[in-house]
Amino acid sequence: MLWELLFTFLIIGLVSFGGGYAVIPLIQYEVTEKGWLTTEQLQEAITLAGMAPGPIATNTATLIGYQTKGTLGAIFSTLGMVLPSLVIIIALAAFFYRVQHNRWVKSSFYGLRPIIAGLIFYAAIHFGFMGQHQMGFSWFTIGTLVICGASLFLLFKYKLHPLLLILVGAAAGIVLF
């Protein structure tokens, strides 16, 4: 049973693209098909996994392993879920370590910086205006920009710790909004 848990979650971990929530139907199919848990037990496991810190798919695998075979089941299920990603990341890191000084690779990564900054800026603007019917300046937008500008100023001018700025920004948001 332990090897079956490992192999099942190894396959799920290998094809888990799109995040943990995208893998839940595959986990549900495998677990209910094999009779490891009932649908209700699986729902409880997914709910607990979602409330726990960390990736939901790995947490779900750990809980399923624990409910079926105890601590060893949890270890085998978790290993099965994380080993594919770990192996792929180690292989990619080894590859990029070898080619990090290549002129083309350096130029490519340097060229990606403005693109990534633009995507982050777009996401910030998009989510900043989400829920507003029109793109325009309101008191909410002006307050957000003031908090952002003050945070950047304090970060660059006085080198304050980012965590402190996040806490102060959150408090300012509570007061203003």
64-76 per-position pLDDT tens digit: 999 999 999 999 9
> Mean pLDDT, to the nearest integer, of 129-144?
69
Per-residue pLDDT at 119: 82
* Contact in structure between 31 and 42 (CB atoms under 8 Å): yes
Residues 139 and 93 in one domain: no
Domain boundary residue, one of 56, 81, 99: 99
Residue of higher predicted confidence among 112 and 137: 112
Residues 91 and 8 in one domain: yes
Q: Give CA–CA dist 77/5, Å, rounded.
A: 5
Residues 12 and 75 in one domain: yes
Query: Which is nearest to 171 in space by CA: 152, 147, 149?
Result: 147
Residues 76 and 112 in one domain: no
Say whether pLDDT at 143 is over 90: no
Residue of higher predicted confidence among 170 and 122: 170
Per-residue pLDDT at 123: 74
Q: Give CA–CA dist 159/116, Å, rounded.
A: 24
Most trustworthy range by pLDDT among 51-55, 71-75, 136-140: 71-75
pLDDT band at 128 (very low <50, low <70, confident <90, very high): low
Number of domains in the chain: 2
Per-residue pLDDT at 177: 81
Residues 95 and 110 in one domain: no
Average pLDDT, the chain: 88
Burial class of 48 by CB neighbour count within 10 A (0 to 12, 13 to 18, 19+): middle
Burial class of 77 by CB neighbour count within 10 A (0 to 12, 13 to 18, 19+): buried
Residues 107 and 149 in one domain: yes
> Mean pLDDT, to the nearest integer, of 3-30?
88
Say whether pLDDT at 133 is over 60: no
Domain boundary residue, one of 80, 99, 118: 99
Q: Give CA–CA dist 79/12, Å, rounded.
A: 11
Residues 95 and 154 in one domain: no
Boundaries of domain holding 6:
2-99
pLDDT band at 124 (very low <50, low <70, confident <90, very high): confident
- Give the long-range contacts of residues 84-91, CB within 8 A, separation 24 or more: 84/10, 84/13, 84/14, 84/16, 85/13, 85/16
Domain boundary residue, one of 82, 99, 116: 99
Residues 71 and 92 in one domain: yes
Residues 31 and 92 in one domain: yes
> Mean pLDDT, to the nearest integer, of 6-24?
87
pLDDT band at 90 (very low <50, low <70, confident <90, very high): very high
Per-residue pLDDT at 77: 96
Residues 119 and 53 in one domain: no
Residues 170 and 126 in one domain: yes
Residues 111 and 81 in one domain: no
